[in-house]
Amino acid sequence: MAGTDLVVIGAGPGGYVAAIRAAQLGMKVVIAEKDACGGTCLNYGCIPTKALYKNAQVMGYMDRSREFGIEIDGYRLDMEQVQARKNKIVKTLTGGVEYLLKSNKVAIEKGCAKIIKAGLVEVTGKDGTVKRLETKRILIASGSKSSRLPIEGMDLEGVITSKEALDMKTVPEEIVIIGGGVIGIEFAGIYQSFGAKVTVVEFMPHIIPNVDVEITSRLKSLLEKRGISIMTGSKVEKIEKKGNNLSVQVDAGGKKQVLSCGQVLVSTGREMDADGLNLDGAGVRYDRKGIKVDENYETNVPGIYAIGDVTGRVMLAHVASEEGKTAVERMAGEKTEVDYSLIPNSIFTFPDVSSIGLSEEQAKEQGIEYITSKYQFSGNGKALTMGDAEGMVKVIAAKDKSRLLGVHIIGPNASDLIAEAAIAMNGMFTVEEAAGVMHGHPTLSEAFEGGLSNLLGKAIHMPPVKNR
């Protein structure tokens, strides 16, 4: 196909957003995708896990129905229906992505893409047909794949990644999850709600690294209260088959333990997916973390760009989307940029955790003078009516109150509430300005207002606390 301005490799949240934005800017665009449109996030990650999370949430309410004065004699989990619901949601959204691409006149080529050189891409379809695409620019948005540690027994039947975990037909009686990051903790909550006995083994001293330690410590306590066993500072040494079960050998701070389970979920992070791209042949520079790019997202080869997980910068769907828009806008001469200091991050567990900006530990490391404030959801009327009042809003601000440094929320709807903090921080509000925004009552957002007001000594619905 001659005369193309841009070939995008990968139709995930980075690739399809970049393709549509490029088309809006007047470019003739082709997007190549070896799987379904929407990428890992839509097909095997963000969306299907949230569908299962909602199932787990509903079951949690049913288990606690007596608290609300509702008697339920009994219920059962129908995994066939659970999967059907999840698949319907995914199909709807993948179809929506294809529709958006086509409506923006983006040509879709299904198949595996290979970069021959700058300006030339080959796409091999499932039937073996090869199509050559000549183009002015190439944008790599091929995403990431699950990484596996070199642990003996990782290839045993029953040892799965998050992709297989999403298609579970039955719930194991016991499961060991290797890795206490976002993926591992989200699945821990889902499996436990579905009735499994869950043990999480995390190598680091805290679950979910890079999140404020006070928040993750609170989350660990709440998850353990639900019955999830969490072993931090622990290392899986070996997995063996023992009869019908798997035997997981763990070094827990020098103490050897053996865990027996029906399944092992490996969630030890993700790595760039550059399979078949021919980066070496095309001369594109990369390392084990990802493809190297400059401020314009251009690689060392002029005319070849990369965004999203494949660069190894920040592996989040919304970051990939922002990078995709920014990359093509810079191709068009616009000087937009992504602010990597203000990336909202959410963990869908029980309860939700969301954050933006600096953690308290990061503020200390950077030598910033700061103050903190915490508002407990136990003092929030809306949270109490929901029966979901565990957690808090933690606000970190500059000592002179000139700006917010970080906001961390553990509690109901934290993933939605963090948007308010994002707006305030992107708008560079002072503490006074952010606290001066009127909030409706009764709403969960009042907890954010309470945390801000306390920094000013103006909190009404909490006892006076001396700020640090």
List, by residue number, the catalytic residues: 441
Tokens representing 377 are 């959801």
- E strands, 148-233, are 159-160, 174-178, 197-201, 229-231
Nearest to 450 by CA among 397, 373, 388, 383: 373
Nearest to 42 by CA among 18, 10, 20: 10
List Cβ<8 Å contacts ≥24 apart for 437-444. Answer: 441/381, 442/380, 442/381, 442/382, 442/385, 443/382, 444/377, 444/380, 444/382, 444/383, 444/411, 444/412, 444/413, 444/417
Sort residue 217 into left (φ over 0), alpha (ψ -120 to 50) or beta: alpha
Nearest to 467 by CA among 326, 333, 378, 371: 371
Rounded to the nearest 5 degrees, what angle is found at the Cα of 145, between the Cα atoms of 211 and 10?
A: 110
Question: At 459, is the secondary structure helix, strand, or coil?
Answer: coil
Q: How far is the C-alpha of 242 from the C-alpha of 141, rounded, in Å?
A: 42
CB 327 within 8 A of CB 18: yes
Q: How far is the C-alpha of 257 from the C-alpha of 442, rounded, in Å?
A: 48
Nearest to 137 by CA among 27, 21, 33, 34: 27
Tokens representing 226 are 């639900």
CB 407 within 8 A of CB 441: no
* Phi–psi pair at 222, nearest 5 degrees: -70, -35
